[in-house]
Amino acid sequence: MLTLPMFLKGPTTVPEQIQLLKSRGLTIDDENLAVQYLSHVSYYRLGEYWYSLQSDKENHIFKPQSVFSDVIFLYEFDRELRMLLFDVIERIEISLRTKLIYHLSHEFGPWWFQNFELFTDNLALVKTLANIEEEISRSKEKYIKDHFKKHKDDQRFPPSWKTLEQTSFGSLSKLYGNLKNTIKSKDLIAVELGAVNHTYLPSWLQSIAQIRNYCAHHSRLWNKNLPGSPKLLPKPPFEWVEDVPKQHEFQHLYIHLCLMKYLINIIYPANDFTPRLSALLQKYPSVDPNALGMKPEWENEKLWTK
């Protein structure tokens, strides 16, 4: 039987953390700044940003001229990027929620989301409904509490226009993706969001829901290999990018940003996504845009000038 080595390392103080970083070659010109950040942002969270500065990642040795302030720049850039994307994704999420409630309720009634005949994967629906039940049980909204009080003998969820207002983007995207492809509303929603038909939109929503989770849990987006591979329209009905990333570039954030921009241009044409993203990149010039997969002339693409 293989015996694994026991973990023997103990906790280190902030001064010890600073000395350890210095011993590994990281220049710390302002120790007060280092104390401030390491006291409020954990060593391992910041470590996600200095990892790329290391030449020997096994022994944690930094490249020459690696500076702690550059780590902070990356951290702050990433934090502001998440805040920006969370704002954009909010509009996409609310639009999807609204369309699901409206179109499916009119086509199949208030409890369509509990109708197993409308969905492809029953097991997946059971899991989604379990998540929705948990979300509803945590809700503090008065209209949810009043509904259960008034209809305490009704064993169903509240109707979709109540229930789905309390449902996460992840659950909404799973409901949409799991709908049978013969459902008229599935194509109608795709058309209204510029995705032509049901073939493409589920992968877009899955991608955006994953990024939303990263934002919600304060996870790193900069220089992150993203899972999933959204299906792209060969001829989008609205403005798109001419310099389309290749399949191997889908792990970077840029193509996902493009999908968000495409959707937000339809949902909220007066959006300021482009100037805000551009201003953020200008604010942190030391941040390498290639780590996000940004194209050199991205701001000149028709998608982004809209």
Q: Taking the complete model, does pTM exceed 0.85, yes or no?
A: yes
pLDDT in tens, 22-34: 999 999 999 999 9
- Is 119 a residue whose pLDDT tops 80? yes
Element (H, E) at 56: strand 54-56
What is the average per-residue pLDDT within 121-145? 93
pLDDT in tens, 156-207: 899 999 999 999 999 999 999 999 999 999 999 999 999 999 999 999 999 9
Per-residue pLDDT, 1: 64
Per-residue pLDDT, 3: 72
Per-residue pLDDT, 248: 87
What is the average per-residue pLDDT within 119-143? 94
Using a 10 angstrom Cβ sphere, with 0-12 exposed, 13-18 middle and 19 or more buried, the burial of residue 284 is middle
For residue 301, what are its two tokens? 């693409």
Contact of 194 with 262, CB cutoff 8 Å: yes
Helix residue ranges, H only, the chain: 14-23, 31-40, 43-50, 68-99, 105-108, 122-138, 142-150, 160-163, 169-178, 184-192, 201-216, 254-267, 273-283, 302-305
Per-residue pLDDT, 146: 86
Q: What band does 71 get if pLDDT is binned at 50, 70 and 90?
A: very high
Per-residue pLDDT, 109: 97
Residue 267 to residue 283: CA distance in whole angstroms: 28
pLDDT in tens, 45-68: 999 999 989 999 999 999 999 999
Tokens 């609205």 found at: 238
Average pLDDT, the chain: 94
Contact of 172 with 96, CB cutoff 8 Å: yes
Q: Which amino acid is at 104?
A: L
